[in-house]
């Protein structure tokens, strides 16, 4: 983006805090903003009305002010109200020309879809020049969470696209119920961090260290690729933020390869959780960058709304280390090239969390795309 001239560490970090009704978002937030490290946090509440937050830096944003784009995709809707609010708060909450906040938390309503918020933050170039999306956080009620996931697709989607899941009210349930909820959450989203709040409280340093890291220093990069358990909090983190794929060609040649679908214990049945599934697509041989990039762009263009989360290690031809991709629906982080592989396994592995999308469709589209472009390899 031409307007994004600031280094990432100079941009104001944003947390998007979602969670189904009664999951303890406000209780948790009330505790967090009273901690010394988070006192300079601006809280944006996505609904008008009386607020129970005891905090000076609070403003509201009208969630009904949504601009629908021509493509009709809900996840690509623009939150015009949020964009306006974020642009105005820099002067509304300033003193002697100095901004009073160093972090923003956007607290959504219980039924909110976080995707339009992500799309707004990543496609508004003015916002991208001042803010960076640091984490998508979702609270889950240990008492009623399992029922909410089964009955309400909105709750399941919030879990599926989150970076970090905070389990609340664990003190009101048995260890067995807590373990079962962990299993259920991992089935929906095997690449999210898990934290447990006790009496609505959590150490803010756990959250401050929860940013998903895709650089070569992360000790857990193999864990989320395995997709069979939630990783521990990373000790190192990258200063990265999402960006949309605007056109093919971001990676940089065609290929002869066929993908293989891997069914892991984390794969959820299509009949539950709002038809959300988790699976891993594996390629045995190195991939030609151009063809992979074009296939991914085509997949995102046609099925982006069904791709709740995508993360993967890509083995591209003529590259010393893997290329890491990371996306939420239509919004993708710029590919990151690592210096070296973290293990002897050089296969491409892409973890998909999808809704209403048959995994075999992804496999078939790649095979069809590769066959169509096969003549390019001999040129």
Q: Give the span between the Cα atoms of 46 and 59, in whole angstroms.
A: 9
pLDDT at 67 (0 to 100)? 36
- The pLDDT tens digits of the residues spanning 106-151 come to 888 777 788 888 888 877 889 989 998 888 999 999 988 888 888 7
Which of left, alpha, beta for 24 (phi over 0: left; psi -120 to 50: alpha)? Answer: left
The three state secondary structure string of 309-331 is EEEEEECECCCCCCEEEEEECCE
- The pLDDT tens digits of the residues spanning 238-290 come to 223 333 333 333 433 333 445 555 544 334 433 345 588 888 888 878 888 88
Q: What are phi and psi of 105, to 5 degrees?
A: -115, 125
With bands split at pLDDT 50, 70 and 90, how would you rate the model's confidence at 228? very low
pLDDT for residue 35 is more than 80: yes
- Which two three-digit tokens encode residue 357? 């999308």
Q: Give the span between the Cα atoms of 321 and 156, in whole angstroms.
A: 34
Sketch out the chain's domains with CATH numbers. 12-213 (3.40.50.300), 258-372 (3.30.1220.10)
Q: Cα dihedral angle (160, 65, 104, 134), rounded to 10 degrees?
A: 30
Query: The pTM is what?
Result: 0.71
Q: Give the span between the Cα atoms of 142 and 146, in whole angstroms.
A: 7
- The pLDDT tens digits of the residues spanning 328-343 come to 888 787 788 888 887 7
Instruction: Name the helix (H) or strand (E) containing 77.
Output: none
DSSP 286: P
- Which two three-digit tokens encode residue 248? 């093919």
With bands split at pLDDT 50, 70 and 90, how would you rate the model's confidence at 208? confident
pLDDT at 363 (0 to 100)? 83
The CA R_g of the chain, rounded to the nearest whole Å, is 20
Asked if 363 contacts 297 with a C-beta cutoff of 8 angstroms, the reply is no
Q: What are phi and psi of 163, to 5 degrees?
A: -85, -35
Among 140, 143, 238, which residue's Cα sits nearest to residue 189? 140
Q: Which residue has the higher pLDDT, 113 or 13?
A: 13
Residue 250: CB partners within 8 Å, gap ≥ 6? 293, 334, 335
Q: What are phi and psi of 13, to 5 degrees?
A: -75, 145
Q: Considering the chain, what percentage of its residues have pLDDT values greater than 90?
A: 7
Average pLDDT over residues 301-312: 87
With bands split at pLDDT 50, 70 and 90, how would you rate the model's confidence at 377? very low
Q: Give the span between the Cα atoms of 128 and 233, in whole angstroms.
A: 27
Lowest mean pLDDT among 27-36, 151-160, 214-223, 231-240: 231-240
Asked if 232 contacts 356 with a C-beta cutoff of 8 angstroms, the reply is no
Q: Considering the chain, what percentage of its residues have pLDDT values greater than 70?
A: 69
């Amino acid at each position: 983006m031409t307007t994004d001239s600031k280094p990432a560490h100079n941009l104001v970090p944003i947390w998007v805090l979602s969670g189904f009704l009664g999951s303890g978002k406000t209780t948790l937030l009330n505790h967090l903003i009273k901690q010394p490290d988070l006192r300079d946090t601006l809280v944006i509440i996505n609904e008008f009305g009386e607020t129970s937050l005891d905090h000076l830096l609070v403003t509201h944003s009208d969630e009904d002010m949504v601009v629908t784009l021509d493509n009709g995709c809900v996840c690509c809707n623009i939150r015009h109200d949020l964009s306006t609010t974020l642009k105005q708060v820099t002067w509304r909450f300033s003193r002697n020309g100095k901004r009073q906040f160093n972090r923003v938390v956007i607290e959504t309503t219980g039924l909110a879809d976080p995707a339009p918020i992500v799309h707004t933050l990543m496609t508004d170039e003015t916002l991208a020049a001042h803010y960076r999306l640091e984490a998508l956080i979702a609270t889950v009620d240990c008492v009623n969470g399992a029922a909410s996931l089964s009955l309400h697709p909105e709750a399941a989607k919030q879990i599926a696209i989150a970076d970090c899941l905070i389990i609340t009210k664990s003190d009101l349930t048995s260890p067995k119920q807590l373990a079962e909820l962990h299993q259920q959450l991992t089935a929906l989203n095997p690449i999210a961090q898990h934290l447990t709040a006790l009496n609505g409280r959590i150490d803010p340093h756990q959250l401050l260290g929860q940013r998903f890291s895709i650089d070569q220093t992360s000790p857990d990069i193999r864990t989320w690729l395995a997709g069979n358990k939630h990783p521990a909090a990373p000790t190192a983190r990258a200063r990265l933020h999402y960006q949309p794929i605007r056109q093919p060609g971001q990676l940089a040649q065609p290929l002869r390869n066929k993908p293989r679908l891997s069914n892991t214990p984390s794969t959820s049945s299509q009949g539950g959780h709002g038809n959300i599934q988790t699976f891993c697509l594996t390629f045995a041989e190195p991939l030609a960058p151009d063809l992979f990039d074009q296939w991914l762009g085509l997949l995102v263009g046609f099925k982006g709304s069904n791709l709740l989360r995508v993360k993967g290690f890509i083995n591209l031809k003529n590259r010393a280390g893997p290329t890491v991709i990371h996306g939420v629906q239509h919004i993708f982080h710029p590919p990151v090239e690592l210096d070296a592989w973290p293990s002897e396994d050089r296969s491409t592995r892409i973890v998909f969390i999808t809704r209403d999308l048959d995994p075999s469709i992804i496999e078939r589209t790649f095979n069809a795309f590769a066959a169509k472009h096969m003549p390019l390899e001999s040129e």
